[in-house]
Amino acid sequence: MKFSSCISALLGAAVTATALPSSSVSVSSKQPASKYPIGNGKGPNAKVAGRVFDIDGRVGYFAGSNAWWLGHLSNNADVDISLQQVANTKYKVLRVWGFGDVNTIPLQTNTDPNKVYFQVLNSTGSYINYGADGLQRLDYVVSSAEKHGVKLVLNFVNNWGDFGGIAAYTTAFGANATQWFTDETSQQVYRNYIKVLVSRYRKSSAIFAWELANEPRCRGCDTLVITKWATEISKYIKSLDSGHMVTLGDEGWFAPADKIGDGSYAYGGGEGVDFLANLKIPTLDYGTFHLYPESWGYEYTWGPEWILQHDAAGNTPTCGTP
């Protein structure tokens, strides 16, 4: 898990689905309830405490990890084993994929994690899979996390093609990866999905934060595109749930206007992200950054500098957030 501080469902009889055609963007208030208890966790919601976090009354830094696969396990026992092991290690936060987008229904003979899906995207809109291989899987993760005292960061879409992501939207509705952030149909369906998840889990103290996306990029775009999108979406999430934190999920790219770094790839704004501008969005509670030196063409020795630059970016009078 990379925090910045600014470190920081044929729809068959077995599947209950709600169709959300692109001409209608309302979400039914009669979505099937979770068959697993949610909202029984102990303690208050996690929150920001200065430049660190408050979890269950303990203030400070917390260890966590990515567990993207957790909501795509079809066996409850596997989920429980995983969360118990996490709790045993004293890890407190897991970042879990809250998305599972497909354009065609997966074969039910598939093995984990490739038979679980949460929504089908096609030209008639979005179909939410509430079945046993759909949101019931994520329901169980949230319920089990409550029991084990583990907090979850749930994100709503992937920049990459794994488990659908933006590519599944563009396949269904047109546009392309950079146009997705402003494409009306894609954004309406995306908001529908957000509303389903947030309304389903907003009473759970297991939710650490809602994350807009995994590593959003808009290559070649003005950085204002993502900043404006993040402002609007985070505000929308807060209108649905003001009791949990919201974060962007970006890699922490700087832009030339930030006057940080040497102007090379990570600092050039080419991926359409401005970390400093996004930190100032009032409905984002904390910043995120990721670190892949080799993939980005940097030496490993550059890593500490990247970390310290983000820490310094958050430690300002106009920011002061984790």
Distances (CA, A) of 32 to 41, 102, 196: 21, 21, 11
Q: pLDDT (tens digit, 9 = 90+) per residue, 1-39?
A: 444 433 332 222 233 343 444 333 344 457 899 999 999
Q: What is the pLDDT, as a whole number, of residue 22?
A: 39
H or E stretch at 19? strand 17-20
Mean pLDDT of the chain: 91
Query: Considering the chain, what percentage of its residues have pLDDT values greater than 70?
Result: 91
Question: Is 223 inside any structural domain?
Answer: yes
Which of 13-17, 109-113, 154-158, 170-174 is the least confident region? Answer: 13-17
Q: What is the pLDDT, as a whole number, of residue 110?
A: 85
The structural domain count of the chain equals 1
Question: Is 278 inside any structural domain?
Answer: yes
Q: pLDDT (tens digit, 9 = 90+) per residue, 163-181?
A: 999 999 999 999 999 999 9
Q: Is the pLDDT of residue 143 over 50?
A: yes
Give the count of alpha carbons within 13 A of 254, CB side only: 22
At position 159, the amino acid (one-letter code) is N
Q: Using CA atoms, how far apart are residues 194 and 20, in angstroms rounded to an integer?
A: 13
Q: Using CA atoms, how far apart are residues 6 and 308, in angstroms rounded to an integer?
A: 9
Question: Is 7 inside any structural domain?
Answer: no
Q: Using CA atoms, how far apart are residues 173 and 180, in angstroms rounded to an integer?
A: 9
Q: Using CA atoms, how far apart are residues 233 and 180, in angstroms rounded to an integer?
A: 13
Q: What is the pLDDT, as a whole number, of residue 175?
A: 93
Looking up residue 194, the CATH number of its domain turns out to be 3.20.20.80
Q: pLDDT (tens digit, 9 = 90+) per residue, 72-94?
A: 999 999 999 999 999 999 999 99
Secondary structure letter of residue 34 according to DSSP: P
Record the pTM: 0.91
Distances (CA, A) of 72 to 79, 107, 116: 9, 14, 5
Q: What is the pLDDT, as a whole number, of residue 321?
A: 87
Token pair 């074969």 in the structure block, residue: 107
**Interval 119-132 mean pLDDT:** 91
Query: Is 13 exposed, middle or buried, given 0-12, 13-18 or 19+ CB atoms closer than 10 A?
Result: exposed
**Interval 108-124 mean pLDDT:** 89
Instruction: Return the structure tokens found at 292.
Output: 């892949």
Q: Is the pLDDT of residue 283 over 80?
A: yes
Count the neighbouring beta carbons within 10 Å of the beta carbon of residue 12.
10
Q: What is the pLDDT, as a whole number, of residue 278?
A: 98
**Interval 261-279 mean pLDDT:** 98
Q: pLDDT (tens digit, 9 = 90+) per residue, 191-228?
A: 999 999 999 999 999 999 999 999 999 999 999 999 99
Which of 105-109, 178-182, 266-270 is the least confident region? Answer: 105-109
Pick the more confident residue, 231 or 113.
Answer: 231
Q: pLDDT (tens digit, 9 = 90+) per residue, 256-268?
A: 999 999 999 999 9
User: Which range marks the domain in which residue 219 is found?
Assistant: 17-314
At position 18, the amino acid (one-letter code) is T
Q: What is the pLDDT, as a whole number, of residue 10?
A: 24
Question: Is 11 inside any structural domain?
Answer: no
> Which long-range contacts (C-beta less than 8 Å, at least 24 apart) are formed by 24-30?
24/125, 25/188, 25/189, 25/191, 25/192, 27/192, 27/195, 27/196, 27/199
Question: Is 5 inside any structural domain?
Answer: no
Question: Is 180 inside any structural domain?
Answer: yes
Q: Beta strands of 98-243 (E only): which ranges? A: 101-102, 119-122, 125-129, 151-155, 207-211
Question: Is 277 inside any structural domain?
Answer: yes
Q: Using CA atoms, how far apart are residues 177 and 140, in angstroms rounded to an integer?
A: 32
Question: Is 1 inside any structural domain?
Answer: no
